[in-house]
Amino acid sequence: MGYLRVTILLAVPLLLQLSVPSRAQTGPQPSPPPFATTPEDGQWTIPQKNFASTRYSDLSEISAENVKNLQVAFTFSTGVNKGQESAPLVVGSTMYVLSPYPNILYALDLTQPGAPMKWQYNPKPAAAAQGVACCDVVNRGPTFSNGKVFFTTLDAHVVAVNAETGEEVWKTKLGYINRGETMTMAPLVVKDKVIVGISGGEYGVRGWIQALDANSGQSLWKAYSTGPDQDVKIGPDFKPFYDSDKGKDLGVTTWPADAWQQGGGSVWGWISYDPDLNLIYYGTGNPGPWNASQRPGDNKWTAGIFARDADSGEARWFYQTAPHDLHDWDGINEMILLDMEWEGKPRKVLVHPGRTGFVYVVDRTTGEVLSAKPFAALTAVTGVDLKTGRLQYNADKAPVINRVVRDICPTASGSKDWNPSAFSHKTGILYIPHENLCMDWESVEANYIAGTPYVGAEVRVHPGPGGHMGEFSAWDVREGKELWTINERFPLWSGALATAGDVVFYGNMEGWFKAVHARTGEVLWQFKTASGIIGQPTTYRGPDGKQYVAILSGVGGWAGAIVSGDLDPRDGTAATGFVNAMRDLKNVTTTGGTLYVFKLP
């Protein structure tokens, strides 16, 4: 723990990059687009911090020199001992904290000592939703816009709450738990639209993204991830870069008859927005079932990245990170929007550290993949062919019906799951909290019964090369290489936060909240919280003018379900195989649900 490593990996000969060799990049580091560099107001109003999703704050009172003096300012219990994946928000002098199911929203008064509760709002979601939540009953955060706080509930409602009073403004039901539909993502508000998507990729849902009127909760547009072009909102404006995404009704024809109806492609991760292009960017989840032999074809439009017009929802381009996904590699991870020079020309790019194990740099106006470099140990994929855009699978690691295929890296949750990276506007470095995990996989026949899982795989996850399961890596986007890495015993399931004080924050599943030097990776300060950390750190300037750092502690999520769900470590396939790797977690941490806020003395 805490030991440093200078650029490694490339351990396996399989890591042949199919890209044109040594496109060495020179010129300036990538930079955030102008719409993400407005003067720092000291707030943290949306989990992504800004539309470019850089999760960077210009606050610098807490610096590499003084961070060692950080101390607890106040704490707060969410009252729920399940996985706390949410981001604490700060708007004006109020902090908003959202619990996992039952999704209680708390407002804390930052002007008073100890930040007492102003109000709480309980949407009282249906308890039965817990059964159809694949990976603990998490929620990835509320979002604020124009006087209202918006969030999703586990039983597939979206609510708008008056940010001042805590009164419900509207509540819209968007899914049915009897079809396995739940909601876990943080909405993004673009102009007057609240954009949300559906979870349930392990239950045979048909994924979609939807825009609601921020004032009324009425649906304005809805685009499915599978099915006919009309349902997917693919029209004349759709101009994908690669040929395999061109053609009519691919959301039907790349599936066996009717399989797209329960084909997954859920939308449960992060949305970014480019106001200049008026495009939103988000990923679609894995196709269902996991057993790929039941769905021959590319399975459009699952496991990929969509660019859509924010007003109409019409698709602009799509790039499939995992065509005919074999291993549950959703495309839902964060989309970080940057400007950078590429082969001498300025490009507007989208950076996506994917579950497949590659950091994708994609031209966000066209959907062209500029580079895809591995950031973790991989055996199941050999690279991305930049001519066709296609992920190159290693046939030896492809699943076989009723046979166990061993040492597939990355694992089902990917080299990196949902927990977002941060990009420092100051260092130009991307900080990626991720996993070093492999798995054994046996495909078995999956039976579709609505309201029950639709998976068809027996999985056992195990640590990757070296035995440690988590890595916190500093990544040079332009060069496509790792600068340094901190190894962690358990997978990293918490997000990252970058600050102008040259300090980067993240937490680990043992419960340590860490501040590391943005340039060297030296651990400058760490604090042991009550439970494992899988949340998203945020920072803000309090009413007293001081800088604060906030994090929720409370282990859970897919990786931590062994503790939050009290699963039995004797069954390696529990929690869809994650328990096999996490048996020790029960000896290290217990459940929790506590907000910690830190400040300098």
Partner 1 sequence: MKVYLVLPLVAFALAACEREDREYRANPMTAESQEKIALVPLSAGPSGPTEYRSGLGKEYEENAFHISQGQRFYTWFNCNGCHANGGGGSGPALMDDRWIYGGQIENIVQTIREGRPNGMPSFRRKIPDDQIWEIAAYVRSMGRNVPKAAAPGRKDDMSPGPAEQRRPPGQVIDGGQVPPSAQMPQ
Given the rule CB under 6 A, which residues bind ligand HEC?
A: 130-132, 452
Work out what residue 589 binds among partner 1, ligand HEC, none; the CB cut-off runs from 5 to 8 Å by kind.
partner 1
Measured distance CA(280)–CA(314) in Å, rounded: 10
User: Per DSSP, what are the bridge partners of residue 345?
Assistant: 342
Instruction: With beta carbons less than 8 A apart as the criterion, state whether 456 and 446 touch.
Output: yes
Work out what residue 10 binds among ligand HEC, partner 1, none; the CB cut-off runs from 5 to 8 Å by kind.
none
Work out what residue 568 binds among ligand HEC, partner 1, none; the CB cut-off runs from 5 to 8 Å by kind.
partner 1
Helix/strand/coil for 229: helix
CB-nearer residue toward ligand HEC: 35 or 176: 176
CB of 180 to ligand HEC, least distance (A): 8
Take residue 522 and report the two structure tokens written for it. 């030296």
CB of 331 to partner 1, least distance (A): 23
Work out what residue 584 binds among ligand HEC, partner 1, none; the CB cut-off runs from 5 to 8 Å by kind.
partner 1
DSSP 400: B
- Signed CA dihedral, 103, 591, 71, 550: sign only: negative
Work out what residue 345 binds among ligand HEC, partner 1, none; the CB cut-off runs from 5 to 8 Å by kind.
none
| Catalytic residue from among 136, 155, 181, 202 | 202
| Catalytic residue from among 245, 298, 325, 328 | 328
- Signed CA dihedral, 201, 204, 210, 215: sign only: negative
587 is catalytic: no
Q: Which amino acid is at 34?
A: P
The alpha carbon of residue 400 and the mean position of all alpha carbons in its chain are separated, in whole angstroms, by 29
CA dihedral 549, 555, 559, 565 (to 10 degrees): -160
CB-nearer residue toward partner 1: 457 or 483: 457
CB-nearer residue toward partner 1: 110 or 459: 459
**DSSP conformation letters of 283-343:** E---BSSS-GGGS-S--TTSSEEEEEETTT--EEEEEESSTT-SS---S-S--EEEEEEET
Instruction: Characterise 129 by phi-psi region: left (phi > 0), alpha (psi -120 to 50), beta (else).
Output: alpha
Measured distance CA(153)–CA(185) in Å, rounded: 9
CB-nearer residue toward partner 1: 353 or 399: 399
CB of 451 to partner 1, least distance (A): 6
CB-nearer residue toward partner 1: 135 or 252: 135
Distance (Å) of CA 80 to CA 102, 105, 116, 161, 236: 8, 12, 18, 20, 48
Measured distance CA(329)–CA(358) in Å, rounded: 12
Q: Which residue is associated with the tokens 């738990």?
A: 177
Residue numbers at the binding site for partner 1 (CB under 8 A): 127-135, 202, 402, 404, 440, 442, 444, 447, 449, 451-455, 458-460, 561, 563, 565-576, 579, 583-584, 586-591
Helix/strand/coil for 34: helix
Distance (Å) of CA 574 to CA 181, 194, 349, 448, 555: 21, 35, 39, 20, 17
CB of 452 to ligand HEC, least distance (A): 4
CB-nearer residue toward ligand HEC: 392 or 452: 452
Work out what residue 46 binds among ligand HEC, partner 1, none; the CB cut-off runs from 5 to 8 Å by kind.
none
CB-nearer residue toward partner 1: 136 or 471: 136
CB of 563 to partner 1, least distance (A): 8
Helix/strand/coil for 162: strand
Measured distance CA(384)–CA(197) in Å, rounded: 28
CB of 138 to ligand HEC, least distance (A): 15
291 is catalytic: no
Take residue 105 and report the two structure tokens written for it. 């929203």
Take residue 243 and report the two structure tokens written for it. 């040929």
Measured distance CA(3)–CA(78) in Å, rounded: 33
Work out what residue 440 binds among ligand HEC, partner 1, none; the CB cut-off runs from 5 to 8 Å by kind.
partner 1
Work out what residue 40 binds among partner 1, ligand HEC, none; the CB cut-off runs from 5 to 8 Å by kind.
none
CB-nearer residue toward partner 1: 558 or 596: 558
Work out what residue 43 binds among partner 1, ligand HEC, none; the CB cut-off runs from 5 to 8 Å by kind.
none
Measured distance CA(573)–CA(458) in Å, rounded: 7
**How many CA atoms are closer than 13 Å to the CA of 180, on its beta-carbon side?**
23
580 is catalytic: no
Closest CA to 81 of 104, 113, 58: 104
| Consecutive H or E run containing 250 | helix 250-253
Q: In this structure, are strands 497-499 and 369-374 parallel, antiparallel, or unpaired?
A: unpaired
CB of 530 to partner 1, least distance (A): 12
| Catalytic residue from among 81, 103, 286, 333 | 286
CB-nearer residue toward partner 1: 228 or 569: 569
CB-nearer residue toward partner 1: 250 or 457: 457
Work out what residue 575 binds among partner 1, ligand HEC, none; the CB cut-off runs from 5 to 8 Å by kind.
partner 1
Closest CA to 325 of 286, 359, 355: 286
Q: Which residue is associated with the tokens 């035995």?
A: 467
CB of 575 to partner 1, least distance (A): 5
CB of 571 to partner 1, least distance (A): 3
Residues labelled catalytic: 202, 286, 328
